Amino acid sequence: MKPINSRLHGILDYLTVVVFALAPSVLGLTGAAAGLSYALAVVHLLVTLATDFELGVARLLPARWHGWIELVVGPVLVVVPWLLGFSDDATERTFVVGAGVVIFVVWALTAYQGRGTAALRGSNPTGAA
């Protein structure tokens, strides 16, 4: 049994949006790292709003697809500083690599099964697999 249910995952998603949106100002990210952080804030917000779980709004995106997106994004972020040329800046590199690791760990700890409208209607009240 994975410890992160869909409600907690939604809360973490919205927190992630705030972190990505504020990171350039708070950490002094510039150039590609700042642009990436702002873009990730927007994309993460759109994906979260569109996901079919308790804290989603449009509920167009199945929770499993949300999980697949995170499965790809997490590891990709770990190598992005080298791909986009900001690996020499320790702050920018550490933030983006750290974000990738956190996204991957949250993905690994989230019970994506049982999420969505069926879980919301009560057929699986715990949201567990």
Q: pLDDT digits over 113-124, tens only?
A: 654 444 433 334
The mean pLDDT value for 26-52 works out to: 97
**Secondary structure letter of residue 59 according to DSSP:** -
pLDDT of residue 18: 98
| pLDDT higher than threshold 80 for residue 10 | yes
**Helix count (H) and strand count (E) of the chain?**
5, 0
Q: Is 31 left (phi over 0), alpha (psi -120 to 50) or beta?
A: left
In the predicted model, is pLDDT for residue 28 greater than 90?
yes
Contact assessment for residue 31 and residue 86, using Cβ atoms and an 8 Å cutoff: yes
Q: Give the model's pLDDT for residue 122.
A: 37
Give yes or no for a contact between 100 and 75, defined as CB atoms under 8 angstroms apart: yes
As a whole number, the mean pLDDT across the chain is 89
Residue 125 pLDDT class (50, 70, 90 cuts): very low
* Residue 32 pLDDT greater than 50, yes or no: yes
Q: What is the pLDDT of residues 78-101, one digit of tens each?
A: 999 999 999 999 999 999 999 999
Instruction: Check pLDDT > 80 for residue 44.
Output: yes
pLDDT at 129: 38
pLDDT at 1: 86
